[in-house]
Amino acid sequence: MARAPRRPAAPPPAPFLDLDAVLADRETEIVICCGSGGVGKTTTSAALALRAAEAGRRVVVLTIDPARRLAQSLGLGELDNTPRPVLGIDTTAGGSLDAMMLDMKRTFDDVVVAHSTPERAREILGNPFYQALSSSFSGTQEYMAMEKLGQLHGQPGQAGGSAAGRDRWDLIVVDTPPARSALDFLDAPEHLSRLLDGRFLRLLLAPARGPLRLMSVGFTLVSSAMDKVLGSQIIRDLQTFVAGFEALFGGFRARAASTYALLSSRHTTFVVVATPQRDALREAAYFVDRLTEERMPLSGLVVNRVHTSSLAVSAERALALAEDLPEEAALEGEALRRHADLMRTVEAEATLLDRFSGSRPQVARTLVETLPTDVTDLETLRQVGALLAQQD
Amino acid sequence: MSRASRAGLASTGAAPAPPRHGLHIVSGKGGTGKTTIAAALACALAVQGRRVLLCEVEGRGGIAELFGVAALTGDEERRLTRTPAGGHVHGLSIDAEDALLEYLDTFYHLGLAGRALDRFGAIDFATSIAPGLRDVLLTGKVYEAVRRGPTGRPGAYDAVVLDAPPTGRISQFLNVHAAVSGLARVGPIRNQADSIMEMLRSATTVVHLVTLLEDMPVTETEEAVQALAPTRIEVGSVVENMVIPNPLELDALERAAAGAVELAVPGWSPAQNRALSAELAVDAARTLAQQERHLRLTGLGLPLAAVPLDPAGIDEAALFTIAAQLRDQLALEAA
């Protein structure tokens, strides 16, 4: 059975990620939880927010599409794109907790309304391109999460943001959208700037403005190709949309740039969330490498749903014992077989985690063992918070 | 929908009949193992000389890693494996930019103009910046691969399996052409979007949802079934993945879960026996919870298949095992 050769000496254990210290540091104003889908990002964000609030921080947690029961446990039965106080938390340390769920279309609409004349806003909100962009296309969520983060942090010039944001909260915990890749969230501002600065958009705008200053061989080719591919009606709608939106673009770009600067500053820290599985750890590795490359502030890695056993009996030994049991000890046999499966899982996870830490020894981490129940109330969230903060 | 009547047509020929569905779309909540199930499904469909294409659209290289081969790049449709049942599985990692250039070239013969579009940033705009256009291009490429089959074009496949985006985005992903149809009232893009939507809604297409028997994935599966209903795209089955096998009777499970079982492994200390009993209690509670979630899924009225947890991890041999399990449990038009 023992087909795995003896492992070389295990790498030195990863440094411990002390999340209590991260949350207690008043310089930390934004914590961003990222990672691939299904690793418990929303739960981790909520548990960190709750723990920080009960330690005295004034916290708002921005969550995107949480499981409904978790939303209920936070008192978020009614969600309307506005932070709502979470009841039932311990406020003796002077902290508070608000929570909100991002409504991407509403956030987009608010930006349009706040930055245009009422007439312009009506025109944009009614444009079919705007409607498709703001509601049914994926990718908009990342832009809007950024926009909302900027608002909550109270950057000057934000729609709905102001000094009020800073007074109300001193810590924002962000649960990133369930994106194609965790990196999409980071790329959103860059994409937006490229979109706004792109020659393509200027090209689209040009015909709507009369004299074709851009006229050239390339331009004629492009516009006739676009006519051919898209048809003239779609181009007209697109031009109207782009023209109507142009006034908003500058503001978008400025805010995206300042949000990105904020993300790179010492006031922000990223927490990468994973489970001890190949896919999740690979995605986490991409993210860690990217943050390191761009010198963005990384706290470390949270590994959720780690299996453990307090019974130091190997899988092989347990199976051998199960075979030798008398017939009537059926339950013992089944328990031993299940223990063997558990030990195999424990070993497989340990190997994957060792590999991660071996290749990225500087990344601090904390392990959260797998819970027997779902996280659906404040009490269980508190337990998760305690496990997050506990040295393994 | 005349799925049943169309389904019967294929099964009369002497050569292995083509599968009932030409396009299998596999989705599931993140972390449920949908890439594994998509790959196993492709293997299950690849019998008796059939050619099956397994596509991924999220650029993660999950397929190549699963089959232990070099990363799939560009528009290559490389053979990944020959199945024990005598079919072939090919792999394709669909890239939005390639898909757009190919689309422009095939439908509009835009040689020079295509390059001009590229220079003006239109390709970049369309594939990475304009939110959502990616999805249009990705499904468009899948459409092209599926259509090769019935029209007998070179490189035809008997079936295409798509490792699709997670359930949270699946109805958006698949309905993206409806959004385009709303924008483009006439013209070539409209026609293309309409044809793709027609194929997705036809008897050719079927969606499989992968879930774990845990609360959140099951809830997401129920929500995905609801969200897909208005798109009129058929959900064909739900695959319960990583199920803990359980030979115990309900009564024994309940006693164990309640902590009322005191195990006595001969030669073990009381502490060891207590630890083992505690592990069994946690496991039994989880198994009971799984059974309750299985019941919830039964309520969907869809065919269910269960794939047991493999603690040793997934490699090619494990994929063939899962393929056999899927064939046995789903009336997969395989044999």
Cα A42 from chain centroid (whole Å): 8
At which residue do the structure tokens 């269980």 appear?
A380
What is the C-alpha separation between B283 and B289, in angstroms, rounded?
10
- Give the residue from B220, B265, B315 with the most A CB atoms within 10 Å of its CB, the best one to mutate: B265
Lowest mean pLDDT among A33-47, A120-134, A143-157, B102-116: B102-116
- Cβ of B120 and A234 within 8 Å? no
- H-helix or E-strand spanning residue A62: strand A58-63
The pLDDT, as a whole number, for residue A210 is 44
Q: Under a CB-based contact definition with an 8 Å cutoff, are residues A179 and A141 in contact?
A: yes
What is the C-alpha separation between B82 and B88, in angstroms, rounded?
5
Structural domains of chain B, with CATH: 17-246+294-329 (3.40.50.300)
Higher pLDDT, A385 or B129: A385
Which fold is adopted by the domain A19-313+343-389? Rossmann fold (3.40.50)
CB within 8 Å of chain B, chain A residues 173-232: 178, 180-181, 191, 194-195, 198-201, 203, 218-219, 221-222, 224-226, 228-232
What is the C-alpha separation between A303 and B27, in angstroms, rounded?
24
Lowest mean pLDDT among A45-54, A89-98, A218-227, B158-167: A218-227
Q: Under a CB-based contact definition with an 8 Å cutoff, are residues B30 and A36 in contact?
A: yes
Strand A365-369 and strand B23-28: the pairing is unpaired
pLDDT at residue A351 tops 80: yes
Nearest to B172 among A138, A221, A372 (CB): A138
pLDDT digits (tens, 9 = 90+) for A199-247: 666 666 665 444 444 445 555 666 666 666 666 666 777 777 777 766 6
- Cβ of B131 and A277 within 8 Å? no
What is the distance in angstroms between the Cα of A21 and the nearest Cα belonging to chain B?
A: 30
Q: Under a CB-based contact definition with an 8 Å cutoff, are residues B205 and B214 in contact?
A: no
Question: Encoding tokens for residue A180?
Answer: 């194609």
Cα B203 from chain centroid (whole Å): 17
Q: Under a CB-based contact definition with an 8 Å cutoff, are residues B161 and B87 in contact?
A: no
The pLDDT, as a whole number, for residue A1 is 44
From the number of C-beta atoms within 10 Å of its C-beta (0-12, 13-18, 19+), residue A70 rates as buried
Domain ranges within chain A, ordered by starting residue: 19-313+343-389
The pLDDT, as a whole number, for residue B6 is 38
Rounded mean pLDDT, A186-207: 65
Helix, strand, or coil here: B161?
Answer: strand
The pLDDT, as a whole number, for residue B168 is 78
- pTM of the entire structure? 0.82
E-strand stretches of B40-99: 51-56, 78-82, 88-93
Strand A58-63 and strand A30-34: the pairing is unpaired
What is the C-alpha separation between A223 and B321, in angstroms, rounded?
54
The DSSP secondary structure of B190-209, one letter per residue, reads HHHHHHHHHHHHSTTEEEEE
pLDDT at residue A333 tops 70: yes
The pLDDT, as a whole number, for residue B80 is 94
What is the C-alpha separation between B202 and B225, in angstroms, rounded?
17
What is the C-alpha separation between A218 and B112, in angstroms, rounded?
10
pLDDT digits (tens, 9 = 90+) for B262-275: 999 999 999 999 99
DSSP 8-state symbol, B86: B
C-alpha distances (whole Å) from A222 to each of A95, A129, A212, A247, A345 are 58, 21, 13, 25, 57
What is the C-alpha separation between A40 and A35, in angstroms, rounded?
9
Highest-confidence segment of A20-34, A75-89, A323-337: A20-34
Let me know the angle formed at the C-alpha of B118 by B112 and B121, rounded to the nearest 5 degrees.
145
Quick count: other Cβ atoms within 10 Å of Cβ A182?
A: 26
Q: What is the mean pLDDT of chain A?
A: 81
DSSP 8-state symbol, B267: T
- Alpha-carbon Rg for chain A, nearest whole angstrom, is 25
- Alpha-carbon Rg for chain B, nearest whole angstrom, is 23
What is the distance in angstroms between the Cα of B328 and the nearest Cα belonging to chain A?
A: 25
Question: Encoding tokens for residue B91?
Answer: 């792999």
φ, ψ dihedrals at B261, nearest 5°: -105, 125
Among residues A89, A14, A103, the alpha carbon closest in space to that of A58 is found at A89
pLDDT digits (tens, 9 = 90+) for B230-285: 888 999 999 999 998 888 899 999 999 999 999 999 999 999 999 999 999 999 99
Q: Which residues are CB-contacts of B302 (< 8 A; sequence separation ≥ 6)? A: B225, B235, B236, B237, B238
Rounded mean pLDDT, B279-301: 94
The count of residues in chain B is: 335
- Tell me which chain B residue has its CA closest to the CA of residue A180: B58
φ, ψ dihedrals at A173, nearest 5°: -105, 125
- Give the residue from A332, A345, A352 with the most B CB atoms within 10 Å of its CB, the best one to mutate: A332
Q: Under a CB-based contact definition with an 8 Å cutoff, are residues A279 and A41 in contact?
A: no
Quick count: other Cβ atoms within 10 Å of Cβ A301?
A: 26
User: What is the percentage of chain B residues whose pLDDT exceeds 90?
Assistant: 49
What is the C-alpha separation between B73 and A388, in angstroms, rounded?
39
The count of residues in chain A is: 392
Among residues A223, A229, A187, A260, the alpha carbon closest in space to that of B129 is found at A187
Nearest to A331 among B35, B252, B275 (CB): B252
What is the C-alpha separation between A303 and A311, in angstroms, rounded?
22
- Give the pLDDT band of residue A282 (cuts 50, 70, 90): confident
The pLDDT, as a whole number, for residue B322 is 95
A138 — contact with chain B (CB < 8 Å)?
yes
The pLDDT, as a whole number, for residue A352 is 94
Quick count: other Cβ atoms within 10 Å of Cβ B267?
A: 7
Helix, strand, or coil here: B23?
Answer: strand
Q: Which residues of A74-104 are buried (b: 16+ CB within 10 A; e: fewer)?
A: bbbeebebebbebeebeeeeebbbbbbbbbb
Cα diameter, chain B: 81
Helix, strand, or coil here: A293?
Answer: helix
pLDDT at residue B335 tops 50: no
Q: Under a CB-based contact definition with an 8 Å cutoff, are residues B287 and B248 in contact?
A: yes
DSSP 8-state symbol, B40: H
Rounded mean pLDDT, B138-146: 90
DSSP 8-state symbol, A327: T
Strand A58-63 and strand A84-85: the pairing is unpaired
Q: Under a CB-based contact definition with an 8 Å cutoff, are residues B174 and B139 in contact?
A: yes
The DSSP secondary structure of A67-120, one letter per residue, reads -HHHHHHTT-SS--SS-EEPPS---TTS-EEEEEE--HHHHHHHHHHHHS-HHH
At which residue do the structure tokens 């990863």 appear?
A14
C-alpha distances (whole Å) from A334 to each of A349, B279, B287 are 23, 11, 13
Q: Under a CB-based contact definition with an 8 Å cutoff, are residues A59 and A171 in contact?
A: yes
The pLDDT, as a whole number, for residue A279 is 82
Lowest mean pLDDT among A132-146, B207-221, B227-241, B319-333: A132-146
What is the C-alpha separation between A28 and A25, in angstroms, rounded?
6
A341 — contact with chain B (CB < 8 Å)?
yes
- Cβ of B132 and A137 within 8 Å? yes
pLDDT digits (tens, 9 = 90+) for B18-59: 778 899 999 998 889 999 999 999 999 998 889 999 999 877
In which order are the strands placed within the sheet that holds A298-306? A84-85, A96-101, A58-63, A171-175, A30-34, A268-274, A298-306, A365-369
Lowest mean pLDDT among A301-310, B136-145, B233-242: B136-145
Cα diameter, chain A: 93
Helix, strand, or coil here: B169?
Answer: helix
Crossing angle for the helix pair B34-45 and B316-329, to the nearest 10 degrees:
70
pLDDT digits (tens, 9 = 90+) for A199-210: 666 666 665 444
- Cβ of B189 and A231 within 8 Å? yes
Nearest to B184 among A69, A234, A313 (CB): A234
Amino acid at B31: G
Amino acid at B229: A
Higher pLDDT, A297 or B2: A297
The pLDDT, as a whole number, for residue B125 is 63
Nearest to A137 among B179, B190, B216 (CB): B179
The pLDDT, as a whole number, for residue A228 is 66
What is the C-alpha separation between A120 and A122, in angstroms, rounded?
5
Rounded mean pLDDT, A35-58: 92
Q: What is the mean pLDDT of chain B?
A: 84
